[in-house]
Amino acid sequence: MNPEPMLWLVLDLTGTFVFALNGALTAVRAARLDIVGVVTLGMMTALGGGIIRDVVIGDIPPATFRDWRYFALAVAGGLLAFALSKLLNRLEAAITVFDAVGLSVFAVIGSSKAMAFGLGIAPALLLGVVTAVGGGTIRDVLVGQIPTVLRSELYAIPALAAAAITVTAIRLDVYGLAAALGAVAICFAIRMLGVRFGLNAPGPLGSSRDSEG
């Protein structure tokens, strides 16, 4: 049995669950939604990037609609976050960590699946980033925030790094569990360093963002 489909599935389901937690916790913190709103936002965060990815590469209907485990994990993540909402003040760090894990996992799965469907290097890199930031962007728009990818810390850059490592490993025919986990770890580390030290991508010259750099 080819191990790659199983690897995709494990990474995809992992990213789905942690992004559902992140999206739902963000809903509680930013919008104070009821249980329906919290679970819905968790599901949109968890499933949005994967749906975009599958539609673009022509994997129709998207995996989300073919495998009940995606919806189950997204709902479970949302419900768990709602249950933990009373501890929200203690979960600020967890929200950031869940977001970084989801970002890292989806960057790897997005780029690897794009390559498997015959896309070239540049489209695979782009789709890896879009898969990684898509759910978070939907989350931020729905709660009335400027998407994180456009405003704070390193976000798209770590996803691009993970996608680049994944694509390189595939091209060199050394892609497997070790390479995938390595790409996830590097993306996670860059993202968390950006959060810890307030690092940002360069902004326009003369802007307050650039001067904070």
Burial group, residue 163, by CB count within 10 angstroms (0-12, 13-18, 19+): buried
- Tell me the two tokens of residue 90: 């203690």
Domain extent listing, the chain: 3-212
Q: Which of 21, 125, 29, 26 is nearest to 78 (CA)?
A: 21
Say which amino acid occupies 5. P
> CA angle 207-139-20, nearest 5°?
130
Query: Would you say residue 2 has pLDDT above 70?
Result: no
- Are 98 and 21 in contact, with CB atoms under 8 Å apart? yes
At residue 64, the pLDDT reads 87
Confidence of residue 204 (pLDDT cuts 50, 70, 90): low
Task: Report the pLDDT averaged over residues 134-150.
Answer: 84
Q: Which residue has the tokens 């307030």?
A: 198
* H or E element in which residue 5 lies: helix 3-31
Q: Cα(203)–Cα(20) distance, rounded to whole angstroms? A: 30
Query: Would you say residue 46 has pLDDT above 70?
Result: yes
At residue 1, the pLDDT reads 42
At residue 102, the pLDDT reads 85
Among 42-46, 155-159, 209-213, the least confident range: 209-213
- Are 13 and 5 in contact, with CB atoms under 8 Å apart? no
- Using alpha carbons, list the distances in angstroms from residue 17 to 74, 123, 200, 209: 6, 26, 27, 33
Q: Is 154 helix (H, G, I), strand (E, B) or coil?
A: coil
pLDDT tens digits for range 102-131: 889 899 999 999 999 999 999 999 999 999
Q: Cα(101)–Cα(103) distance, rounded to whole angstroms? A: 5
Task: Flag whether the pTM goes above 0.75.
Answer: yes
- Tell me the two tokens of residue 183: 């790409």
Q: Cα(2)–Cα(116) distance, rounded to whole angstroms? A: 13
At residue 124, the pLDDT reads 95
